[in-house]
Chains A and B, each alone.
Chain A
Amino acid sequence: MLTIQDLGIVRDVRVISEKEVEVIITPTYSGCPAMNTISMNIKFELLAHGFEQVIVTEILSPAWTTDWMRESGKQKLKAYGITPPQYNTASNPRESKAVIPCPVCNSTHTKLLSQFGSTACKALYKCNDCLEPFDYFKCH
């Protein structure tokens, strides 16, 4: 299962006492509709584990980057059919000369169809070899 830690969304967890905990998360994109669900699920999960006071704090700075994604998370994305970010944004901020491999057949013979995919964090590609259309998780 892909976790919010795999994605680098959890920035910190502070156990204040046996009953009280604070989880600090950062949104991937400003308009990501999953953020409310994510913070609700964190609350549910921790309440179910015996905490009585669960605080979920959202921070915007430093802004989330795909560089925080764990290797395990990238592999899970690929297994699901989404090509994970291919570059470190710090070393290649413009994603120049990006070669985006197909998550199904690994061919690098792919074509960008749209810079915006099914969600803000992804772009839409097509594999010219196996013809599979796929999402690419953009470096951000």
Chain B
Amino acid sequence: MKTSLLQYILHLADNSFIHGHRLSEWCGHGPELEVDMALSNIALDNIGAARSFYQYAAELEGNGKTEDSYPYLRDVRAFRNVLLLELPKGNFAETIARSFFFDAYQQLFYKALMSSSDKQLAAIAEKSLKEITYHLRFSSEWVIRLGDGTDESKQKMQEAILKYWDYTGELFSASEIELDMQNNKIAPDIASLKPSWEKIVSDTLEEATLSYPLRADGAWFQSGGKKGLHTEHLGFILTEVQYLQKSYPGCGIDINDLLLIA
């Protein structure tokens, strides 16, 4: 039970962390200053949520683990984020499409996680839900603005929606760990969130004058991230993120060390 809970927390942490990292790649590269600031802020919220989850995982695991142990010292196969979030950031429409799919999911997910029997997870969900509301407003408004924009922006937005669609199924497909957590009333039933998510997506796409990707029931979706089977792209993220820890193992300053120096 404790092992499953730890794995579950790391899955949630990895989702927020990898999404936050991809968004942070826009810092200094946004199409306009306001977008640059928005994406950087949203990245920060996600990394903040990831820290809360990693801290909780470290507390639960003990053995000298800290919040830094998980993002900096694990290898690709240990990460449990969904594939959608690790794909390269792509062009602006592609980042917006991916963010929109994930923000809509996160809003529903955190709402449900607030009822978790695990008090700390419920608290992180309560905190993050307030922030996700801003994220979803930002990404959905941009879907509409690009979709209902020029011929070129519409085409790029439509292509982006289609490109990431195959990666959205994994969000709602529960792993064994998630099912175990669901049976223990810790995790919500993610499959049940799908109709509400589809409603948000179809309403937004309609307003954006974009086509909803029609798929047959039971259509195939990309998956693997929840089992640690990733695309090649995650390795490149970790190479960058973990460079300092690999070159200078254990480097870092703890607040308590600073107090000792003072």
Beta-carbon nearest neighbor of A48 in chain B: B262
Give complex CA distance A65, B148 in Å. 35
Beta-carbon nearest neighbor of A36 in chain B: B255
Nearest-CB distance from B119 to chain A (Å)? 8
Give complex CA distance A33, B51 in Å. 12
Beta-carbon nearest neighbor of B47 in chain A: A31
Note all chain B residues with C-beta closer than 8 A to A43.
255, 259
Give complex CA distance A116, B119 in Å. 30
Note all chain A residues with C-beta closer than 8 A to B123.
59-61, 63
Give complex CA distance A19, B235 in Å. 49
Given A31-B46, A31-B47, answer yes or no on A40-B127 (Cβ-Cβ < 8 Å).
no
Nearest-CB distance from B5 to chain A (Å)? 18
Please provide the chain B residues from 133 to 158 with a CB less than 8 Å away from any CB of chain A in the complex: 134, 137-138
Beta-carbon nearest neighbor of B34 in chain A: A114
Note all chain A residues with C-beta closer than 8 A to B43.
31
Given A61-B127, A115-B137, A120-B44, answer yes or no on A30-B34 (Cβ-Cβ < 8 Å).
no
Note all chain A residues with C-beta closer than 8 A to B41.
31, 116, 119-120
- A47 at interface by CB-CB < 8 Å: yes
Contact (Cβ within 8 A) B127 A63: yes
- A81 at interface by CB-CB < 8 Å: no
Nearest-CB distance from B127 to chain A (Å)? 5
- A44 at interface by CB-CB < 8 Å: yes
- B237 at interface by CB-CB < 8 Å: no
Contact (Cβ within 8 A) B34 A29: no
Contact (Cβ within 8 A) A29 B131: yes
Note all chain B residues with C-beta closer than 8 A to A100.
none
Please provide the chain A residues from 84 to 140 with a CB less than 8 Å away from any CB of chain B in the complex: 113-120, 124, 140
- A50 at interface by CB-CB < 8 Å: no
Note all chain A residues with C-beta closer than 8 A to B128.
30
Given A44-B262, A120-B41, answer yes or no on A115-B124 (Cβ-Cβ < 8 Å).
no
Contact (Cβ within 8 A) A113 B45: no
Note all chain B residues with C-beta closer than 8 A to A47.
259
- B77 at interface by CB-CB < 8 Å: no
- B52 at interface by CB-CB < 8 Å: yes
Nearest-CB distance from B54 to chain A (Å)? 12
Nearest-CB distance from B152 to chain A (Å)? 23
Beta-carbon nearest neighbor of A54 in chain B: B259
Contact (Cβ within 8 A) B48 A32: yes
- B170 at interface by CB-CB < 8 Å: no
Note all chain A residues with C-beta closer than 8 A to B130.
63, 140
Contact (Cβ within 8 A) A113 B127: no
Q: Which of B48, B131, B258 has a CB less than 8 Å from the CB of A40?
A: B258
Give complex CA distance A46, B42 in Å. 34
Contact (Cβ within 8 A) A39 B255: yes
Contact (Cβ within 8 A) B37 A30: no
Note all chain A residues with C-beta closer than 8 A to B44.
29, 31, 33, 120
Contact (Cβ within 8 A) A60 B134: no
Note all chain A residues with C-beta closer than 8 A to B37.
114, 116-118, 124
Please provide the chain A residues from 2 to 50 with a CB less than 8 Å away from any CB of chain B in the complex: 27, 29-33, 36, 39-40, 43-44, 47
Give complex CA distance A64, B48 in Å. 14
Given A40-B255, A40-B258, answer yes or no on A116-B42 (Cβ-Cβ < 8 Å).
yes
- B208 at interface by CB-CB < 8 Å: no
Shortest Cβ-Cβ A-B pairs, 7 listed: A31-B48, A30-B48, A31-B44, A61-B123, A114-B34, A116-B38, A60-B123
What would 18 more interface pairs be, CB under 8 Å, given A30-B51, A44-B259?
Answer: A27-B48, A27-B127, A29-B45, A29-B48, A30-B131, A31-B41, A31-B44, A31-B49, A60-B126, A114-B34, A114-B37, A115-B38, A115-B134, A116-B37, A116-B40, A118-B37, A119-B41, A120-B45
